[in-house]
Structure 1
Amino acid sequence: MNMHTVVNQEQWVAQRKQLLVREKELMRQQDQLASARRALPWVRVDKQYVFDTPQGKRSLSDLFEGRSQLVVQHFMFAPGQERGCAHCSYMADHTDGALAHLAQRDVSLVVVSRAPLASLERMRKEMGWQFKWVSSGESDFNYDFHVSFAPEDMAGGEVYYNYAGQGFPHEDAPGVSVFYKDDAGVVYHTYSTFGRGVEVMMHTYRFLDLTPLGRHEEGLPYTMAWVRHHDRYAQPAASCCGSAHA
């Protein structure tokens, strides 16, 4: 870190107040954006999806667990892999503490991957996670919500991800989707976010953004190249999502 400007307390407070004006404006813009997000139209989900869960086969409607709102983390973990993506794991590390608070606001959260349930349960226990993790491997759920890509699409060099056709290096991608279930039991898709939008789950970044060195990702092969599964930080980095969150 290069030597930083050093001032007295009075000078620091003056500059801090200038930044505070910008921070408050950003907060107001974020509130406006959240309001616009809630105002988006919904899409009725008529297709029946089946998920493999520790309690047996369950539908998308079942995953709400009696609540009206459902948040889904699309976790990159394909059949045949030893472990799921380290970057999706970084997202998931922030989840357990939020579950009780989400429930108080009528929200359930579930993590979904294509890998078999046994693989998901093994990794969940290894990582010490408590959230519900279910397998969509027997349905089109991942493909319909554009976080998994068919081999023929991959072979063509371009897949549909983050609302655009683009090249993508993996058969699965990260994302967050939100659903609503009305009193009649009808499920609606209300929102999805991909790419850097999934940083909404990465609370560690919010802390890093407060620090003098920030995320300190300059010069890395790609952003998040430093991220490991939390039990493997002593080991060399393995190839994972690459620039998936760029």
Structure 2
Amino acid sequence: MNTITMPGNGAHHPVVSRYDWLVQRRALLEREKALTHQRDQIARERRALPWVRIDKSYVFDTPAGRRTLAELFDGRRQLMVQHFMLAPGWEQGCKSCSFMADHLVGAQVHLEQRDLTVLLVSRAPLAEIERFRQRMGWQFKWASASGNDFNTDFAVSFPPETRIGGEVYYNYRMTGFPQEEAPGISFFYKDDAGEVFHTYSTFGRGVEAMMMTYDMLDMAPQGRGEDGDDYGMQWVRHHDRYESAPAVATSSCCASRA
């Protein structure tokens, strides 16, 4: 058996015949199929979770004026909210949340065909949101929660009074999350009577569901290439900053390997 040296990390990777490769590939395929079936089962259990009626009134600022949560469904029954990390006064939105949002550009039209409206929500004022949205060239809807408790209630914004012993409630547990904002994805359903229900939320590495780039990298020879990094997604930049981005570590806006 021969080996090839991988650039960058200097690791030695085996090189075998096509027959030997097929033997190992077929064995891995069985595990991949089992994982696919397990994911299907988890998806069924996710959809079977009970719902929570939204009794609190949330009013958001949008380019079309002030809108309630129910009005943000845009004529559809389902709503997906990306909790985008952009707090009042920030110069720009979180680079990792931007990485997530980039994947919505092609997906939005298909999601809408399945009765699902896509919406970004941040705590920054609408003018600051619009300035950053235009810079990034995104067309999807983005609402400001600056005048309500939506972000706090859904545990993606952490005012000082919510910190207990340096920890906040995030991803369904108390944790030492270092930032004032956190990423997440939430789903809602609106019935014929106009009542809104919270059906599901995911946080931490659960938001990788929006990151198709990672799925592609996981199949590539060098993988994600993050093993030696100080934190996950250290390499990610805003899509208009890659050419000029310095090849040095920068502080993470939502660093988490959990």
TM range (shorter): over 0.9
Matches within 5 A, 1:1-246: 1=6, 2-154=11-163, 156-233=165-242, 234-236=244-246, 238-244=250-256, 246=258
Structure 2: distance between partners of 1:164 and 1:100: 35
- Greater shift after overlay, 76-85 or 122-131? 122-131
Whether the aligned pair in 1 keeps the contact of 2:231 and 2:252 (CA below 8 Å) is no
Structure 2: distance between partners of 1:27 and 1:69: 25
Deviation at residue 243 of structure 1 after TM alignment: 2.0
Whether the aligned pair in 2 keeps the contact of 1:143 and 1:149 (CA below 8 Å) is yes
Structure 2: distance between partners of 1:127 and 1:196: 24
- Deviation digits for residues 44-88 of structure 1 (CA, Å, limit 9, x no counterpart): 001110111010000100110010000000000000110010000
Secondary structure, counterpart of 1:5 in structure 2: strand
Structure 2: distance between partners of 1:86 and 1:179: 25
Opposite residue 239 of structure 2, the aligned amino acid is H
- Deviation digits for residues 126-173 of structure 1 (CA, Å, limit 9, x no counterpart): 111111111001000000000001112237411100000111111110
Deviation at residue 245 of structure 1 after TM alignment: 5.4
- Greater shift after overlay, 193-202 or 120-129? 120-129
1:74–1:245 CA distance, 2 compared to 1 (3 A):
farther
Whether the aligned pair in 2 keeps the contact of 1:83 and 1:123 (CA below 8 Å) is yes
- Greater shift after overlay, 3-12 or 76-85? 3-12
Whether the aligned pair in 2 keeps the contact of 1:174 and 1:244 (CA below 8 Å) is no
Deviation at residue 242 of structure 1 after TM alignment: 4.4
Whether the aligned pair in 1 keeps the contact of 2:78 and 2:116 (CA below 8 Å) is yes
Structure 1: distance between partners of 2:12 and 2:256: 34
Whether the aligned pair in 1 keeps the contact of 2:231 and 2:257 (CA below 8 Å) is no
Secondary structure, counterpart of 2:255 in structure 1: helix
Count residues in correspondence. Answer: 246
Structure 1: distance between partners of 2:256 and 2:57: 29
Secondary structure, counterpart of 1:4 in structure 2: strand
After TM superposition, the score normalised by the length of structure 2 is 0.92
After TM superposition, the score normalised by the length of structure 1 is 0.97
Whether the aligned pair in 2 keeps the contact of 1:173 and 1:244 (CA below 8 Å) is no
- 2:3 paired residue number: none
Structure 2: distance between partners of 1:225 and 1:160: 24
Sequence identity percentage? 63
Secondary structure, counterpart of 2:121 in structure 1: strand
User: Cα RMSD between the aligned structures?
Assistant: 1.2
Deviation at residue 187 of structure 1 after TM alignment: 0.3
Structure 2: distance between partners of 1:146 and 1:138: 16
Structure 1: distance between partners of 2:157 and 2:41: 31
Whether the aligned pair in 1 keeps the contact of 2:232 and 2:256 (CA below 8 Å) is no
Opposite residue 64 of structure 2, the aligned amino acid is Q
